[in-house]
């Protein structure tokens, strides 16, 4: 009996010890598991925060390179806009629709325009330059020798006479006694800076205009030659040329001479290089 009691007591003590050991094991497991849970939550929190940082730094719809592209485009647009603004500001302003460029053929006489009486500043002697002046003036000397006119006062009759000689020198007039209106008036425009205003007013004279053609007869051209001797600068590309015009007979013998003064306007757009503005003659 005593032995049975001892065994039962020993068994109870063993069970009690086992329960005590189990209880202590559970207490130790709780801190470990909580630390594990805390560590896991920190890991998850860290992963969440890192993912949110990544999403905020690099938008889902673009990569780092593509995010720079819009800013470059905007910068390029701004530069282009600035360049266009600067370019537009550097361009000369276009004339208004009401303003019209003045045409030489429409220019009117003015007291400010140089005349054959204006002296100017003498140009140093230049043989080739004087030859050029002589060659230009001699294109119409045969038709206009002895004729005088100031700026804007040359009349249609004088223009027509000069036009015949100009067209003859250009090879447009041979045996024919007529020439097309546009060709005839173009030569006059290029030489004088103006052209015939009233073609019909030539009827009944040595010239006649009809059906788009100019006709002429009996001009009686004489052999006059001008020689430039001095030139003066009048300013604004106007030049005064002085010299003598000599009349020659059929055998090229001099018959008579006249003092002559011409005013030329240098005009690069004319294929003659000048306009004849005014001329005067004196014995």
Select from 138, 200, 146 the least CA-distant residue to 165.
Answer: 138
Comparing 103 with 252, the larger pLDDT belongs to 252
CB-facing half-sphere around the CA of 175: CA atoms within 13 A = 0
- Average pLDDT of the segment spanning 37-55: 41
Give the whole-angstrom CA distance, residue 278 versus residue 58: 83
Task: Name the one residue in this structure whose structure tokens are 């306009």.
Answer: 275
Binned at pLDDT 50, 70 and 90, residue 204 comes out as low
215 and 208 Cβ atoms separated by less than 8 Å: yes
Question: What pLDDT, in 10s, does the model give residues 146-193?
Answer: 899 999 899 999 999 899 889 875 555 554 578 899 999 999 999 999
Strand, helix or coil for residue 223: strand
Binned at pLDDT 50, 70 and 90, residue 119 comes out as confident
Give the whole-angstrom CA distance, residue 248 versus residue 168: 20
CB-facing half-sphere around the CA of 196: CA atoms within 13 A = 28
- Percent of the chain topping pLDDT 90: 40
215 and 240 Cβ atoms separated by less than 8 Å: no
Most confident of the ranges 6-15, 110-119, 169-178, 244-253: 244-253
How high does pLDDT run on average in the chain? 72
Comparing 236 with 85, the larger pLDDT belongs to 236
- Average pLDDT of the segment spanning 37-45: 43
In sequence order, the 6+-apart residues with CB closer than 8 A to the CB of 2 are none
In total, the chain counts a number of residues equal to 283
Crossing angle for the helix pair 156-169 and 181-192, nearest 10 degrees? Answer: 100
What's the start-to-end Cα distance of the chain, in Å?
Answer: 183
């Amino acid at each position: 009996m005593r032995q049975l009691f001892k065994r039962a007591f020993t068994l109870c003590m063993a069970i009690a010890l086992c329960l005590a050991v189990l209880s202590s094991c559970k207490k130790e497991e709780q801190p470990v598991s909580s630390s594990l849970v805390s560590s896991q939550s920190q890991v998850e929190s860290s992963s969440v925060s890192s993912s949110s940082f990544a999403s905020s730094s690099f938008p889902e719809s673009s990569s780092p390179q593509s995010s720079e592209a819009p800013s470059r485009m905007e910068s390029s647009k701004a530069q282009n806009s600035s360049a266009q603004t600067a370019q537009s500001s550097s361009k000369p302003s276009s004339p208004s629709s009401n303003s019209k460029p003045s045409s030489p053929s429409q220019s009117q006489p003015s007291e400010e325009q140089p005349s054959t009486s204006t002296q100017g500043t003498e140009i140093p002697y230049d043989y080739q330059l004087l030859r050029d002046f002589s060659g230009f003036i001699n294109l119409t000397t045969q038709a206009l020798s002895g004729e005088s006119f100031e700026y804007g006062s040359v009349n249609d009759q004088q223009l027509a006479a000069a036009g015949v000689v100009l067209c003859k020198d250009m090879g447009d007039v041979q045996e024919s006694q007529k020439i097309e209106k546009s060709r005839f008036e173009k030569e006059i425009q290029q030489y004088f800076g103006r052209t015939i205003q009233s073609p019909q007013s030539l009827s009944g004279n040595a010239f006649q205009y009809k059906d788009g053609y100019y006709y002429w007869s009996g001009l009686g051209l004489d052999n006059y030659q001008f020689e430039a001797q001095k030139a003066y600068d009048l300013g604004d590309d106007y030049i005064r040329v002085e010299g003598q015009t000599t009349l020659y007979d059929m055998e090229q013998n001099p018959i008579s001479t006249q003092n002559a003064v011409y005013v030329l306007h240098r005009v690069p757009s004319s294929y003659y290089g000048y306009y004849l503005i005014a001329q005067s003659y004196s014995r």
